[in-house]
């Protein structure tokens, strides 16, 4: 059995794409220069042109320019051909300025710029980087020798980039480029990786929302990422730079998921260590304002949480038509997803995909781990018996009998945000004007410093406990209960099902943890583990830790019966 691993690390400025705005001196009228900034690569059509000895071969390899050419992504395609001396009389020039949605200029830093050229390579490309005040930071010529070419020149805190195509490799050729990337894609393969561990974990009943992690160390020649080098590339590591993991077992290649840089540590003997988390880990750092919900479709609430972060999700058809009624306090988006998943009975999974998936815990066995694949040293443990599960259901009602003082404080001139510990409905304010009101907060604008009083109504939380228990108790058993009181999206219509799911989970009392030979096991799968004694443990794989640099050995944790 042969195993290999590979990591593709996006060592680029993570906000440059969103802040980049493009202007070009020349481009075909059916081409949009913004397309070179697309996240998904352009497939550049191989169309016939009038380029001598190149653009119109008679072997049928090229296609005609489509009538609806504007519907195709072309990127950057010059209108002029290079001359006999390979240069342009009017050099194609691209100007990139960086600013946010408010029009505020933004600084960016990268180890260089990567281009994808098409059809013919340019001979010389010049790049100039400019600072905030318009001063020139760097001026460098590059001579590309491949179509995916990295212009390797580290520049920090630039606000504008000007790219000029000085000449082409051949005479009488158009210049074409399909993409630009402010940084470089680092390919970390077996030859460079010194250690790599991947942790994939789920909770079958969403009691928690585990964060998958990738820990990768790799060799870097020439101390490129040396921590103490004030001009080194270490300074360019950024939160949320992307790492995509792959493993190959024999000839089967598997994408293991997309991760995001959390921390990079300095080099020791030219080794750099990356600590990355999955999208759940990213969402743990993003605030969600929450709110009061009344029969809100699950898909709508997930869309409200994930779409602003440009996160795609997949909701299993089992949850079609399912709605949520209840309350979410201000907290992280990870916490909000956990509350949703617990209420509807969903597994939340990001492993081996680029999206967030929500689906019911599987009921069918899809994997069998035989004794031949188990490595000596498996540990079997047994959890304490749980005989009762109590779930507190919440029902929120707006009480409008009497207007109450919700908050009183003294503020200086300006906008201020008042947050509430429980949901409210603000009806009036004195000493300020309401800018925005919400069940969890209110933004006010104060024009004269002084006391501000917010008034309105509060919500009453009616709590009802739903129970599932073992009846009668087994002989000699001691009653033991587990309870969940803070699931604020569990209303009376969902509480009994939630209690049953949790009770059934706690009856899976045995846990098998140990190493197995490489395979395709995934967290959340329902599997059975066989032992030499002929006994079989059946349950959910809750965690898979893969040593990608150590032969692909997997340490699995399975809870079952």
Q: Which residues of 395-427 are buried (b: 16+ CB within 10 A; e: fewer)?
A: bbeeeeeeeeebbeeebeeeebebebeebbbbe
SS3 label, residue 431:
coil
Closest by CA to 211, choosing from 203, 221, 222, 223, is: 203
For the CA atoms of the chain, what is the radius of gyration? 29
Give Cβ neighbours of residue 539 (< 8 Å, ≥ 6 apart): 508, 510, 526, 527, 558, 559, 560, 561
> pTM of whole model > 0.75?
yes
What local confidence, expressed as pLDDT, does residue 48 receive?
82
CA distances from 66 to 71, 74, 81, 250 (A): 9, 12, 21, 43
Give Cβ neighbours of residue 308 (< 8 Å, ≥ 6 apart): none
Tokens describing residue 61? 């390899």
Helix (H) or strand (E) holding 291: strand 291-297
SS3 label, residue 517:
coil
Q: What are phi and psi of 92, to 5 degrees?
A: -60, 130
In three state form, how does the secondary structure of 17-40 look? HHHEEEEECCCCCCCCHHHHHCCC
Listed as ranges, residues in the chain with pLDDT below 50 are none
Closest by CA to 128, choosing from 155, 92, 150, is: 155
CATH topology of domain 10-187: Jelly Rolls (2.60.120)
Q: What are phi and psi of 39, to 5 degrees?
A: -70, -40
> Which CATH number applies to 190-361: 3.90.105.10, 3.40.50.10190, 3.40.50.880, 3.55.50.30?
3.55.50.30
Q: What is the C-alpha separation between 489 and 290, in angstroms, rounded?
A: 11
Closest by CA to 522, choosing from 548, 554, 549, is: 554
Longest C-alpha distance within the chain, in Å? 96
Helix (H) or strand (E) holding 498: helix 492-506
Q: What is the C-alpha separation between 223 and 372, in angstroms, rounded?
A: 44
Return the domain boundaries, the chain. Answer: 10-187, 190-361, 376-381+509-561, 384-507
pLDDT tens digits for 389-429? 999 999 999 999 999 999 999 999 999 999 999 999 999 99
pLDDT tens digits for 376-390? 999 999 999 999 999
Q: Where in 298-361 does DSSP place strands (E)?
A: 313-315, 323-328, 331-332, 347-349, 356-359
What local confidence, expressed as pLDDT, does residue 2 receive?
86
């Amino acid at each position: 059995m042969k195993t290999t691993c590979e990591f593709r690390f996006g060592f680029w400025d993570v906000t440059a794409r969103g802040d980049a705005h493009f202007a070009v001196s020349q481009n075909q009228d059916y081409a949009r220069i913004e397309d070179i900034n697309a996240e998904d690569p352009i497939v550049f059509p191989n169309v016939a042109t009038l380029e001598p000895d190149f653009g119109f071969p008679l072997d049928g390899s090229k296609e005609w320019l489509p009538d609806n050419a504007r519907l195709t992504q072309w990127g950057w395609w010059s209108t002029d051909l290079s001359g006999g001396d390979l240069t342009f009389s009017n050099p194609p020039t691209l100007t990139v300025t960086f600013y946010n949605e408010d029009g505020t200029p933004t600084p960016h830093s990268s180890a260089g710029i990567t281009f994808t050229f098409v059809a013919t390579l340019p001979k010389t490309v010049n790049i100039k980087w400019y600072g905030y005040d318009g001063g020139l930071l760097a001026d460098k010529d590059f001579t590309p020798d491949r179509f995916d070419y990295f212009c390797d020149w580290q520049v920090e805190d630039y606000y504008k980039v000007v790219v000029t195509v000085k000449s082409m490799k051949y005479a009488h050729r158009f210049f074409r480029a399909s993409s630009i990337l402010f940084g470089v894609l680092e390919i970390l393969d077996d030859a460079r990786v010194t250690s790599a561990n991947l942790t994939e974990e789920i909770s079958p009943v969403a009691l928690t929302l585990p964060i998958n992690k990738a820990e990768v160390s790799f060799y870097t020649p020439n101390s490129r990422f040396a921590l103490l080098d004030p001009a080194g590339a270490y300074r360019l590591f950024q939160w949320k730079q992307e790492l995509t993991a792959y493993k190959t077992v024999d000839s089967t290649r598997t994408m293991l998921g997309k991760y995001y840089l959390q921390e990079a540590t300095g080099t020791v003997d030219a080794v750099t260590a990356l600590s990355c988390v999955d999208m759940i880990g990213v969402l743990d750092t993003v605030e969600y304002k929450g709110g009061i919900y009344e029969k809100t479709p699950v898909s709508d609430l997930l869309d409200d949480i994930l779409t602003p972060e440009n996160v795609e999700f997949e909701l299993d058809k089992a949850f079609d038509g399912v709605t949520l009624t209840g309350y979410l306090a201000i907290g992280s988006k990870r916490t909000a997803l956990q509350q949703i998943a617990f209420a509807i009975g969903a597994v939340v999974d990001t492993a081996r995909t680029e999206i967030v998936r929500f689906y019911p815990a599987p009921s069918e066995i899809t994997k069998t781990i035989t004794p031949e694949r188990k490595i000596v040293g498996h540990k079997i443990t047994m959890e304490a018996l749980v005989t009762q599960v109590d779930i507190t259901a919440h029902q929120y009602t707006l009480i409008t009998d009497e207007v109450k003082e919700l908050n009183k404080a003294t503020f200086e001139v300006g906008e201020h945000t008042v947050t509430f510990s429980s949901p409210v409905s603000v009806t009036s304010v004195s000493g300020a004007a309401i800018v925005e009101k919400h069940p969890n907060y209110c933004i006010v604008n104060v024009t004269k410093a002084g006391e501000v009083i917010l008034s309105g109504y509060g919500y009453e939380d009616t709590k009802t406990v739903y129970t599932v228990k073992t009846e009668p108790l087994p002989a000699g058993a001691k009653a033991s209960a587990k309870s969940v009181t803070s699931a604020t999206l569990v209303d009376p219509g969902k509480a009994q099902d939630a209690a049953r799911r949790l009770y059934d989970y706690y009856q899976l009392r045995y846990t098998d943890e140990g190493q197995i030979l490489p395979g395709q096991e995934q967290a959340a799968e329902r599997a059975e583990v066989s032992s030499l004694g002929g006994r079989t443990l059946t349950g959910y794989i809750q965690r898979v830790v893969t040593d990608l640099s150590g032969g692909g050995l997997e340490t699995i944790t399975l809870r079952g019966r």
